Amino acid sequence: MGSFKGHALPGTFFYVTGIWWTLKAVLKYACKRHKRTSYLGSKALFHRVDIVEGIILVCMALTGMLGEQFITGGPYLSLYDYKKGQWVQLLGWHHTTMYFFFGLVGVADILCSTISSIPASLSKLTLSNALLVEAFIFYNHTHGREILDIFVHQLLVLVIIVTGLLAFLEFLIRHNVILELLRISFILLQGSWFWQIGFVLYPPSGGPAWDLTDHENIMFLTICLCWHYAFSFIIIGIIYAFVIWLVKSRLNSFCPSEVGLLKNVEREQESEEEM
């Protein structure tokens, strides 16, 4: 991960995953709100989606692990060099460990969707665990570096800890779309901040190098983090508006008799909930 590409890869993973989780969370909420009984809002569909999602997460984790181990100068699965008497690329092993725990999140998604005896909340607990492990790793990741390098990673650690705590709250409080979207907003923030770290520490070819000892750069990056967070809310808002519009337009496409039938079903379900 000690390169621009090394930071862009996890940043892309987190951002794509955050966008996908936003789509899924809002779609679940919209279908539940309108109490649709179509296949679009069925539990069977979401179970299949969770299985596919778990497989993709495992593939992402494997890609990151293999990339960290077998890039040029990587450890190539060697942890200790007995001839030289020293550890081999421990920073690469840090990143590999991080990817491994996120791979476990994918495994938990698959197991929770295929084995009925496993609680569905296990996936949230596994996600919280992976995030807190990631925070622990990055907290111990920058010893002996320049002040700006340490600062951008400290901000990342703060974001990861908050995300992990929110994921743990989801484990305790289920089916809360506001809490879920709040956690996703920090996932998006984490993804974009990985990209920002790449631009700060490893500017792409032709880009000016940042002064890693300039205090004003620290002040700017403090503001920059807030801008990143605001942008994550804009992305969530756009996706939310699009999905709600899509579900409502699908409802309006039914003929009047079908709409009346759906309204009757909704009234019956509401009366049952009140009882």
Written as six digits, the tokens of 18 are: 């955050």
CB atoms within 10 A of CB 32: 12
- The percent of residues above 90 in pLDDT, for the chain, comes to 66
**What is this structure's pTM?**
0.88
| H or E, element range at 175 | none
What pairs with residue 80 in β-bridges?
87
Model pLDDT for residues 13-61, shown as the tens digit of each residue = 999 999 999 999 999 888 887 665 454 556 777 888 999 999 999 999 9
DSSP element (H, E) containing 81: strand 80-81
Predicted local distance difference test score (pLDDT) of residue 259: 47
Sign of the Cα torsion 131, 134, 138, 139 reads positive
Question: What's the chain's average pLDDT?
Answer: 87
Nearest-CA neighbor of 157 among 140, 182, 135, 189?
135
Nearest to 203 by CA among 5, 56, 43: 5
Residue 86, SS3? strand
> In this predicted model, what pLDDT tens digit does every residue of 235-262 receive, in sequence order?
999 999 999 998 888 777 654 444 454 4
Assess contact for 25 and 180: CB atoms under 8 A. yes
Q: What is the pLDDT of residues 177-225, one digit of tens each?
A: 999 999 999 999 999 999 999 999 999 877 778 999 999 999 999 999 9
Per-residue model confidence (pLDDT) at position 275? 43
**3-class SS of residue 168:** helix
Token look-up 């484990």 returns 171
Length of the chain: 275
* CB distance 89 to 22 below 8 Å: no
Rounded Cα gap, residues 233 and 186, in angstroms: 9
